[in-house]
Amino acid sequence: MAVCYSVSAIAIVSTFVTIFSLCLFLNSKTKLFNKDVSLLGTNECDIYQGSWVFDDSYPLYNSSTCPFIEESWDCQKNGRPDKDYLKYRWQPYGCNLSRFNGTEFLLKYRGKRIMFVGDSLGQNQWHSLACMIHASQPQVKYIMDKIGRQYTFSLPDYNIWLLFLGNPLIVDIITEKGSRVLKIDSIRSENVWKEMDVLVFNTWHWWNRTGINKQTWNSVQDGNTTYKDMNRLELYKKALNTWAKWADSNLNSTKTRVFFQGVSPDHEKCEGKTRPLQSPGSLFPGEMELENVVKTMSKLNVRLINITSLSQYRADGHQSIYSYKMDCLHWCLPGVPDAWNQLLYHHLIS
């Protein structure tokens, strides 16, 4: 298929590659010139190219009015003295994102099932979205529940279910004779995913864990071959490819809108940071592999929510010492995951 694109347009293109032969030309910053763009229905701009702007009308909610917020996310409650980090809004260069409107969201997604699948960063984002929705409709009855690794936030009046399923590696881990085997080529359990109307996947950080107490498997099985361990980036790539194959043959784009969340970056130093960094720094590991895998998918429309670079600016957004332990990986709420949800909302509403 004759498809050409500039790297920064992959997120846009990936969705349409299978449908149209598109040639997108981007100028230096943002404007999209493309005679076929009307096929897309909108003049799409690259919402991931932009900057953080201070906006006094933010945050979208106050953690003290989000009754179910987990204490570990609530940096204000945990004594964080500065507040500016709450007020940065992601502003694309080429267009304006419409402000998150929970009412609009509920009306549009009435009767739908939305599931985040991945690690605690996915839970961070799921929690943020639940708070954002609740803040727009505080009078609407909700149910908050947790069974095993599945968290449920539902609004019976709208018959909406917002779910998070803790599944940090996405592929299977199976305990055989007391030993945990990572089945790098297998996703077998997840019929429930197929029932969803929206799926948002994320994975990365658990691939990078080594050591007795951190690593979640004892051995790796790929086909009939068993390995003690393997290069982590290689494993991650294999897992993404397993996911891509599974998704291509098991999900139906007409029924399910599928998103893959770009890698959420951690920072070496975050303590004491009170404003965004001047530069995002170098390419974050894992991100390129994810982009490449999403590109190879032939059947399913998957949108990559390209949050890596924009989050790399936000060393100030981490929990730092205002959580159970020093944490430069997860994010305060309100905070950076709200912006991810704003971007997700942009895709879901348009």
Ligand X SMILES: *[C@@H]1O[C@H](CO)[C@@H](O)[C@H](O)[C@H]1NC(C)=O
Choose which of 10, 26, 155, 305 interacts with ligand X (CB under 6 A): 10
Active-site entry in 119, 266, 316, 327: 327
Find the binder of ligand X among 21, 27, 64, 292 (CB under 6 A): 64
Q: What part of residues 255-294 is at the interface with ligand X (CB under 6 A)?
A: 255, 285, 291
**Does residue 95 interact with ligand X by CB under 6 A?**
yes
Instruction: Assess 49 for contact with ligand X (CB under 6 A).
Output: yes
Residue 127 a catalytic site member: no
DSSP 107-144: HHTTT-EEEEEESHHHHHHHHHHHHHHHHH-TTS--EE
Per-residue HEC secondary structure of 221-286 comes to EECCEEECCCCHHHHHHHHHHHHHHHHHHHCCCCCCEEEEECCCCCCCCCCCCCCCCCCCCCCCCC
| For the chain, the helix, strand and coil percentages under 3-state DSSP, each to the nearest 5 | 30, 20, 45
100: which DSSP letter? P
252 touching ligand X, by CB under 6 A: yes
* Residue 145: CB minimum distance to ligand X, A: 26
66 binds ligand X (CB under 6 A): no
Question: Looking at beta carbons only, is 15 or 306 nearer to ligand X?
Answer: 306
Site for ligand X in 189-228 (CB under 6 A): 208, 210, 223-224
Structure tokens at 281: 């720094």
Name the active-site residue from 72, 120, 309, 323: 120
Q: b or e along 22-39 (b: 16 or more beta carbons within 10 Å of the residue's beta carbon)? A: bebebeeebebebeeeee
Whether 320 contacts 266, CB under 8 Å? no
Binding segment toward ligand X, per CB under 6 A, in 8-16, 121-129, 315-323, 324-332: 8-16
Q: Does 153 bind ligand X (CB under 6 A)?
A: no
Residues from 286 through 345 that contact ligand X (CB under 6 A): 291, 304, 306, 309
> Radius of gyration (Cα) for the chain, nearest Å?
20
Residue 327 annotated to the active site: yes
Please indicate whether residue 154 is annotated as part of the active site: no
Q: Where are the beta strands (DSSP E) in 150-244?
A: 150-155, 160-166, 172-176, 179-183, 198-201, 219-222, 225-227
Interacting span for ligand X (CB under 6 A) from 95-103, 138-146, 157-165, 174-182: 95-103
d(CA 199, CA 135): 23
Which is closer to ligand X, CB of 83 or CB of 188?
Answer: 83
254 binds ligand X (CB under 6 A): yes
Q: What are the residue numbers of the active site?
A: 120, 327, 330
Q: Which residues bind ligand X (CB under 6 A)?
A: 7-8, 10-11, 48-49, 62, 64, 76, 83, 86, 95-96, 101, 103-104, 107, 208, 210, 223-224, 232, 252, 254-255, 285, 291, 304, 306, 309
